[in-house]
Structure 1
Amino acid sequence: MAKTIVVKQVGSPIRRPKIQRQTLIGLGLNKMHRERELEDTPSVRGMVRSIPHLVKIIEERG
């Protein structure tokens, strides 16, 4: 079974650069307080690391 992480959006993309909004959409998030379970890959970790003020890792599974 693959390792996964649960990511929650905690910040609003309003008045943020376009690339940060696109990163949120790439993670499958687009509204406040939504959570997604994503595969724990280097690309997903990099996306989360690029917008730490907008998302939070809630849980690591696996």
Structure 2
Amino acid sequence: MAKIKITQTGSPIRRDKTQRATLVGLGLNKMHRTVEVEETPEVLGQVRKVAHLVSVEAA
């Protein structure tokens, strides 16, 4: 599987609880944190849900 880098660029303040939980599920909880994860359908679905709060690039 390919890996992708996900960086949190937006604040979860005043966002829905599910969006906050999705960020935590991806391993992000503070601004400008970056995680490298496997590119699976589950992860891509989470990224799609919070696309306005993260930036994604190939690793």
Calculate the TM-score normalised by the size of structure 2: 0.95
Q: Say whether residues 1:13 and 2:12 are aligned partners.
A: yes
Counterparts of 1:1-62 in structure 2 under 5 Å?
2-57=1-56, 59-61=57-59
Unmatched segments (≥5 aa) in structure 2: none
Give the secondary-structure state (helix, strand or coil) at the position aligned to 2:7. strand
Give the secondary-structure state (helix, strand or coil) at the position aligned to 1:37. strand
When the two chains are superposed, the root-mean-square deviation of aligned CA atoms in Å is: 0.8
Counting matched residue pairs gives 59
CA distance, structure 1, for counterparts of residue 55 and residue 42 of structure 2: 16
Shift of 1:30: 0.2
CA distance, structure 2, for counterparts of residue 42 and residue 60 of structure 1: 15
The amino acid across from 2:44 in the alignment is R
Structure of larger gyration radius: 1
